[in-house]
Amino acid sequence: MFGIDSSFLSSLLQVIFIDLVLAGDNAVVIGLAAAGLASDLRRKAILIGILAATGLRIIFALITIELLSLGGGLLVAGGALLFWVCWKMYRELSVSHQDEVEAHEALDNADINADGRVAGKAPKKTLRQAVTQIVIADVSMSLDNVLAVAGAAQHHIEAMVFGLALSVVLMGVAASFIARLLHKFRWIAWVGLLIILFVAVRMLLEGVGSFVAIPEIPFLYTPHVAAAH
């Protein structure tokens, strides 16, 4: 009735799900990096991590939009990189229970004694060491997020912009809550992994389809999208 594009709606739902899963993953990594700091330094490290990730997402988004619009081999490369993201996610989903507990405690400051000292088992570190670790992780995670969102958006720029804005909001507002939610309901993260795998296959087929003819695969690849010349 309102002329809603089903392709846009599907892309938007995929983008939202990917953002939720990657925001939780991002929170765990930042929490582990900040776990060895006292509470006052920890807040600074987490804030710097969020700001760095925000800036990196904007930069990577601008570059990714330009590159993926060229199609062809760059789409193939993007799909291949997303397969790498899937492998990393699979390994991170297998992280030890103790590591997850330490990350959540750090995000909630639950491992800080009354005198402000760290009571957890995480190795003590300086603010510079923690920030360096967080920023290095942010580079990888921001690229992962931008690629996954760009692939899921499927040429819908509005969906991509919304997805990137949502990822920034989730990092700053609800990352800790989402991390605990994914820890409790592990299946949500596995569904997110499957969605990113789906996006990777679709990007790969679209890129290859710009060079050679590929039969239409329902719900996955439509030749005229990428192969019409």
Between helix 6-34 and helix 157-169 the angle, nearest 10°, is 30
6 located within any domain: no
- Reading the block at residue 157, the tokens are 């720029």
Handedness of CA 176, 180, 185, 186 (dihedral sign): positive
1 located within any domain: no
Please give the residue range of the domain that contains residue 145: 11-227
Number of domains the chain contains: 1
3 located within any domain: no
CA nearest 181: which of 9, 17, 14? 17
5 located within any domain: no
Max CA separation in the chain (angstroms): 68
Question: pLDDT (tens digit, 9 = 90+) per residue, 121-174?
Answer: 555 677 888 888 888 888 888 888 888 888 888 777 888 888 888 887 887 677
How far, in Å, CA of 78 to CA of 84, rounded? 10
How far, in Å, CA of 112 to CA of 34, rounded? 12
Question: pLDDT (tens digit, 9 = 90+) per residue, 40-98?
Answer: 787 788 788 878 888 888 888 888 777 777 766 777 888 888 888 888 888 877 665 55
Q: pTM score, two decimals? A: 0.72
What does the angle CA 109 – CA 17 – CA 136 come to, to the nearest 5 degrees? 50
